[in-house]
A and B are shown apart, each in its own frame.
Chain A
């Protein structure tokens, strides 16, 4: 698929390149994630990312764009999202204004016409003018198609949109083109890298799924989580990092309604840093649990377990193993 124009996707040469490239912008990828990104580019297919909230689904798109130095166009989906908000809209106000101005000039303009058909012809040529790109307000999908060097198109939380919108996306996602009836079909010179995310609020249609590569991002293992926190909160000390990550991993194994995800771990690391904590301490942990857990009942349940979890989190130094049973990689 050699192309004459230069695209922004050249760095996507191999899976290793993706991993290391994403690492340069602070996104710790897994082999699975990198493989999907590499294939998405190679096969020109969108990636559909599923997984719990806060594990870095949206962040993957942002980081990818940052690394490739491409614009990222984000389309946040919600119930009732329609083409006008996603694709394009006519600038009614501007059209209206121009009509008003034209009204006064109308006599002048068609004055030179000899008969009715000629003046009609002149008028209709103005009509076409109104429905030109000048009056077209492009929304994320159309903008993504128009980027000369490619772009990263992030369609966030697609499961929140309606079925109709999902069906409408199919044209965009399979052909990378958009049809505006008054203008014609606008085709992307360089297809964007499309990333869709879903929290599984509702089951997506088969047609959409078939057009995408499927990627599930779950909770990270201890080693990867440490790397992520390290990348996001560089100031955190080695020993605290180890303890807080194994604490969070321990919390995930308990029976909580909403298990803390990576973003919560990062927030918590920042919190502990702000409080100048050097090691996990039962009181510290209790008072900051609300950063990690978002349900009152979860906080109450975990509060009881805090002494055990803190002991286990501090364990590796003494017992020589992490709570997850993996050899210590940090």
Chain B
């Protein structure tokens, strides 16, 4: 039984539920306390020992059902079903037994035999969906499939009408057997492999160019962004603590020790106040850049815990604040609305800066990080770099995220070289990873 539990824990680990050795031991102790008898009780208990968040609990419950659905048949029949027992070592069971077993139609016996064969084939090592066929084959082999094959060949070569019928029956048995083995292997893949495949896909999606993502990827990206946001929030909320500077705070020390006859038992140090991050995102939502804006805004707004003070503006021709739209609508709807309202007309950076200057200049102060997301392609209009410089001087820092690669900066109608001198940083952002790094740096600057 220990093995069942260990393998279950391995399955959990492969699905991103981090189970430590200590927790594994706890699980063993919990099982010793409550026993295997009651399935729901076991599920609840293991869930409460092994899973450490609501999300992990869901993964746990799903895997528990998958995993124990087959281990149940194994354990149940361990005791009462001994007729089909492959011997240790390499020896395969005789084909007669297999044929008899399959003909008997005894589901319990068949699944017991299947479990044994699956275990002998090392099915729990399965990692990728492409391995399903291989493991299914191994299971069939462990159950005596080779003997069956020989019998089948014999029967096919026979000339008697009886042989014909036998052959047909053997073919049916083999098909049935293969199907069951496949099912078993697929279930094992769901338990042990699906998590790692997921991980692989996530890594792949994070490295993919943002504008090359299709509909199918969007859901995955949303989950990924939520994960990234959580990671950044944890990382940066930690440093929001004020740090001692080693200077005595005389006033507060005296007050704290007034009750002790003024003897300074409790010494209070002066503390440094930290700025909370304040971000103003200015996004070009013209066709070529809109897709990137979607991800930047999604990431920024998922960060609400770490950065309470976020303002967003969108423009292509005229610039408008979009905070209200984002607050009142579901994200996808909000994006559609923003692009519909603001995305029309030819891009004009100069106009956008003067709109910002006239209507919203006061939003930028020395604590503000301004993030501009755009390609700087202003249709040969006046880029108004003078206004941009003013903003840069007011702000704590000016970060420009450019979806275009460095070689393209300044080509054609790109006004990037005019803005470049005033940016604290200009980086090429093509993938989710780039985006994460950029936002990480912005937050780190407030550390």
Contact = CB atoms under 8 A, between A and B. Distances in A.
Nearest to B38: A15
Given A43-B30, A162-B241, A209-B52, A96 B41 contact: no
Q: How large is the interface on B (under 10, 10 to 19, 20 to 34, 35 or more residues)?
A: 20 to 34
B50 to A, nearest CB: 9
Chain A, interface residues (CB within 8 Å), range:
20 to 34
Given A15-B41, A163-B238, A210-B22, A39 B49 contact: yes
A93 interface: yes
Contacts of A96: 260-261, 263, 265
A39 B57 CA distance: 17
Contact of B51 (A35, A206, A214): A214
Contacts of A216: 54, 57
Contact of B48 (A36, A93, A209): A36
Contacts of B56: 214
A35 B42 CA distance: 10
Contact of A39 (B20, B23, B30, B305): B30
Interface in B233-264: 233-234, 237-238, 241, 259-261, 263
Contact of B44 (A32, A45, A210, A212): A32
Interface in A3-56: 15, 31-32, 35-36, 39, 42-43, 45, 50
A228 B29 CA distance: 33
Nearest to A164: B241
Contacts of B52: 206, 209-210, 212, 214
A3 B56 CA distance: 36
B44 A202 contact: no
Contacts of A39: 30, 33-34, 45, 48-49
Contacts of A15: 41
A202 B266 CA distance: 30
A296 to B, nearest CB: 15
A214 B30 contact: no
Interface of B: 18, 20, 22-23, 26, 29-30, 33-34, 40-41, 44-45, 48-49, 51-54, 56-57, 230, 233-234, 237-238, 241, 259-261, 263, 265-266, 305
The 4 lowest CB-CB distance pairs between A and B, nearest first, are A209-B52, A42-B33, A92-B265, A35-B44
9 contacts: A35-B45, A43-B29, A43-B30, A43-B49, A50-B54, A92-B265, A202-B234, A206-B18, A214-B51
Interface of A: 15, 31-32, 35-36, 39, 42-43, 45, 50, 92-93, 96, 162-163, 202-203, 206, 209-210, 212-216
